[in-house]
Amino acid sequence: MNMPNINDARKRTNNIIPIKRDDFIIPEEVKNIGKNKNYCILTYGCQMNVHDSENISAIIEEMGYNKIDNMDNANVIILNTCAIRENAHNKVMGMLGRIKHLKEKNPDIITAFCGCMAQEVGIANKLKDKYPWVDIVMGTHNFHKLPIYLKNTISTNKQQLEVYSKEGDVIECLPVKRDSKYKAWVNIMYGCDKFCTYCIVPYTRGKQRSRLPDDIINEVKELVKNNYKEVTLLGQNVNAYGKDLNINYNMANLLEDVALTNIPRIRFVTSHPWDFTSDMIDIIAKYDNIMPYIHLPLQSGSTKILNKMGRRYTKEEYIKLFKEIKNKIPNCSITTDIIVGFPGETKKDFKDTIDIVNELKFDLAYTFIYSPREGTPASIMKDNVSVEEKKERLATLNELINKYANLNNQKYKDKIVQVLIEGQSEKGNMLMGYTDTMKLVNIKAPEKYIGKIVNVKITDIKTWSMDGVIIDD
Ligand code: SAM
Ligand code: SF4
């Protein structure tokens, strides 16, 4: 048993990060234990978790397990959790209740709990003391040891709880089973060193560790060979890529080298405004295969609140960066994240947020009510804004965000755009895909177009999507 520790989680040293190329093993005796058995994986949270689940799926399938979507018939149920806000927590705890019910009927079901929630001291203690029937609890640094934990669970029938609070390493040998045949997530870095005062990520994911450029570029070249059309370069703060490598190679260099692989579409998330350089903007503008779409979290329009959040930029600096991007890449769509109700946010601070939204007119924004996370500096800041007031501010903000989302989409009416067709739309009888600017388009077209980038004429505009028709292949 190895419990997480918040003091170890926040430690940062100058130690060299080990790159492990042979750390993944499936013990001989469990290689086929999943034959004729099913697993189900439920993923919560960000793209990083989605991609981790692709690794976990590949690992468990190498043991013979078959993936199913319905947990009622699963022999192994894996919960890949998110700790970013309280409501993500609540969803997972609710799901544990449902799994307990299934396990009462079939005690052979194995439950594995992983992801950022497992890294939290309070949650790990709760799982140990109150949920002993959760068979495996593993953290973000060691999910690749799932085969060993499964083996131990089966042989001892005791809870396997192993969570490390450490800076972390880079593991290059993990298998991956990608959800899509056309779009791939590619990690370029792990962890985060920004320590925004509200955020749990630096504690759950460890220190910033960039992958070596060659490892990333070779992965993208392999995807090109396999006919992938799009990669999304993943990291909590991709603009800081390379800072920890000390090899004089940064995100602008990486974007250029990935562009030169000729993969048709390149995206990247998430960008921290602080590390966004003019060189990066120039490279995005230079290469047609780097998509004109940037997710640029603002968090607040008040410089006072940004300062309390530890974001290290002012409202004016954010506006300047936004305008530089729009000047150099005029068709670029820019989306953002905004938190309302941060401790000490006055009506005037909130008005600053409203003003900046009115000025910049984001294509879209993901908006959140501040949620205190145990162990973070903001969680002990004096918070005198009532819950009702926070909800009202969120509703006011959302109304404005929706208005600009719709107005930005209106510009596409009757225009011809390129769309990568990904698959069936949630709307019956339609296919769906995204424009280069990340606008969702639903199209009535035959399935033969799935996996292709096609020219589409936009015929109808909604707030969250558009409809279109294919005008050629
Ligand atoms: N690394 C990215 C960044 O710096 O923007 C994204 C991190 S997080 C997965 C995504 C978003 O969740 C953040 O941009 C922030 O708006 C929101 N978030 C993080 N911690 C939060 C908290 N304690 N309460 C409410 N929202 C939070
Ligand atoms: Fe969290 Fe800030 Fe790091 Fe983003 S940059 S993951 S918000 S600490």
Quick check: 472 pLDDT over 80?
no
**Nearest-atom index, ligand 1, CA of 84:** 20
Of all ligands present, the nearest one to the C-alpha of 194 is 2
- What's the rounded Cα separation, in Å, for the pair 468 and 416? 9
Of all ligands present, the nearest one to the C-alpha of 84 is 1
pLDDT, tens digit, 9 for 90 and up, residues 372-382: 999 999 999 99
**Nearest-atom index, ligand 2, CA of 272:** 5
Quick check: 24 pLDDT over 90?
no
> Beta strands 209-210 and 170-171: pairing type?
unpaired
pLDDT, tens digit, 9 for 90 and up, residues 69-103: 999 999 999 999 999 999 989 999 999 999 999 99
Q: Which residues of 313-340 are buried (b: 16+ CB within 10 A; e: fewer)?
A: bebeebeebbeebbeebeebbbbbebbb
The pLDDT assigned to 31 comes to 87
Question: What spacing in Å lies between the alpha carbon of 84 and ligand 1's midpoint?
Answer: 7
Question: What spacing in Å lies between the alpha carbon of 241 and ligand 2's midpoint?
Answer: 14
Residue 138 phi/psi, 5° resolution?
A: -135, 150
Q: Is the CB of 195 under 6 A from ligand 1?
A: no
Q: Is the CB of 192 under 6 A from ligand 2?
A: yes
The pLDDT assigned to 25 comes to 83
Q: Is the CB of 370 under 6 A from ligand 1?
A: yes
Amino acid letter, residue 423: G
| Range 247-264 average pLDDT | 98
Measuring from atom 2 of ligand 2, which residue has the nearest CA?
196
Quick check: 230 pLDDT over 70?
yes
The pLDDT assigned to 427 comes to 83
Question: What spacing in Å lies between the alpha carbon of 8 and ligand 2's midpoint?
Answer: 18
Q: Is the CB of 312 under 6 A from ligand 2?
A: no
Q: Which residue, among 366, 452, 428, 374, has the nearest Cα to 401 in the 3D structure?
A: 366
Measuring from atom 9 of ligand 1, which residue has the nearest CA?
46
Q: Is 375 exposed, middle or buried (0-12, 13-18, 19+ CB in 10 A)?
A: middle
Asked if residues 429 and 415 have their Cβ atoms less than 8 Å apart, the reply is no
| Range 185-198 average pLDDT | 97
Residues paired with residue 453 on neighbouring β-strands, in sequence order: 420
Ligand 2 probe mutation, 189, 196, 241, 339, most atoms within 8 A of CB: 196
Asked if residues 432 and 443 have their Cβ atoms less than 8 Å apart, the reply is yes
Quick check: 23 pLDDT over 90?
no
Phi/psi region, residue 7 (left: phi>0; alpha: psi -120 to 50; beta: rest), is alpha
pLDDT, tens digit, 9 for 90 and up, residues 334-358: 999 999 999 999 999 999 999 999 9
Angle at 18 between CA 15 and CA 19, to 5 degrees: 150
- What's the rounded Cα separation, in Å, for the pair 420 and 431? 10
Which residues have a Cβ under 8 Å from the Cβ of 272 and sit 6 or more positions away? 194, 237, 239, 240, 297
- Distances from the Cα of 34 to the Cα of 59, 140, 176, 418, 452, angstroms: 11, 23, 18, 42, 35
Q: Which residues of 394-413 are buried (b: 16+ CB within 10 A; e: fewer)?
A: beebeebbeebbeebbeebe
Q: Is the CB of 201 under 6 A from ligand 2?
A: yes
Q: Which residue, among 191, 194, 200, 77, has the nearest Cα to 140 in the 3D structure?
A: 191
Starting at the edge strand found earlier in the chain, the sheet holding 364-369 runs 293-295, 333-340, 364-369
Residue 473: which pLDDT band, with cuts at 50, 70 and 90?
low
Q: Which residue, among 457, 463, 314, 319, has the nearest Cα to 401 in the 3D structure?
A: 463
Mean pLDDT of the chain: 96
- What's the rounded Cα separation, in Å, for the pair 161 and 125? 10
Does the model's pTM come out above 0.85?
Answer: yes
The pLDDT assigned to 335 comes to 98
The pLDDT assigned to 156 comes to 93
Q: Is the CB of 84 under 6 A from ligand 1?
A: yes
- What's the rounded Cα separation, in Å, for the pair 113 and 313? 37
CA atoms within 13 Å, Cβ hemisphere of 471: 11
Ligand 2 probe mutation, 49, 192, 366, most atoms within 8 A of CB: 192
Quick check: 201 pLDDT over 80?
yes
Quick check: 56 pLDDT over 70?
yes
Q: Is the CB of 198 under 6 A from ligand 1?
A: yes
Amino acid letter, residue 243: K
Question: What spacing in Å lies between the alpha carbon of 195 and ligand 2's midpoint?
Answer: 6
The pLDDT assigned to 380 comes to 97
The pLDDT assigned to 28 comes to 86
Asked if residues 198 and 378 have their Cβ atoms less than 8 Å apart, the reply is yes
| Range 167-174 average pLDDT | 94
Quick check: 253 pLDDT over 70?
yes
Of all ligands present, the nearest one to the C-alpha of 196 is 2
Alpha helices in 43-120 (DSSP H): 47-61, 86-105
Angle at 147 between CA 143 and CA 151, to 5 degrees: 130
The pLDDT assigned to 179 comes to 96
Asked if residues 183 and 420 have their Cβ atoms less than 8 Å apart, the reply is yes
